[in-house]
Amino acid sequence: MSDYNWAKFLLRISVDASVETIYHAVATQRGIESWFLRSAEYFSVDHTLRTDNEFIQRGDHYTWMWHGYDDETVEHNDILEANGEDMISFVFAGNCIVTITVGMLDTETIVQLVQENIPTGEESRVSIHIGCMEGWTFYLANLKSVLEGGIDLRNRNLNIGKVINS
């Protein structure tokens, strides 16, 4: 495993939904709260709060909170890119860069997530590389579940911690 790239990982999942539907689910407050976050706020470069159905844009700042975690677990960071169609990129988990793209492959809609710029020290290998890969794997499966069947798999109980679905 000496050639394994601990600074980056890539995940892909097929989702039976249109590119437009998936982009809305990843690039709006309403969409991202349906499968990933308990609370999402996006602020434009002039510090205006975006509406819940408004697409994020390059330069926006976000505040995110998750189900299953108290209000002390919060992520504040920046949107690097959002093309309005099929790609967003944002800073996450310190200085990591996450890029989500949506496209067609054969007859399937594929969601691809790349997280890179991961520090490669031992602690980061576990907490960021493995931890984020585990988290994103669940949340991408939940995106598929919500869009294809309407079932949200997230744990919403603060009293139940350390489960894969929160």
Sorted by where each begins, the domain ranges of the chain are 8-149
User: What stretch of H or E contains 124?
Assistant: helix 122-124
Q: For the domain with range 8-149, which CATH number is right: 3.40.640.10, 3.40.50.300, 3.30.530.20, 1.10.357.10?
A: 3.30.530.20
User: With bands split at pLDDT 50, 70 and 90, how would you rate the model's confidence at 2?
Assistant: confident
Q: pLDDT by residue (tens digit) across 106-160? A: 999 999 999 999 999 999 999 999 999 999 999 999 999 999 999 999 999 999 9
Phi and psi at residue 88, to the nearest 5°: -135, 155
pTM over 0.75: yes
Mean pLDDT value of segment 85-96: 99
Assess whether pLDDT exceeds 70 at residue 1. Answer: no
User: What stretch of H or E contains 134?
Assistant: helix 131-149
Rounded Cα distance, 149 and 75, in Å: 29
The more confidently predicted of residues 1 and 58 is 58
Q: pLDDT by residue (tens digit) across 13-68? A: 999 999 999 999 999 999 999 999 999 999 999 999 999 999 999 999 999 999 99
The 3-state DSSP class for residue 24 equals: helix
Residue 161, pLDDT score: 86
Q: What tokens appear for 106 in the block?
A: 């054969």
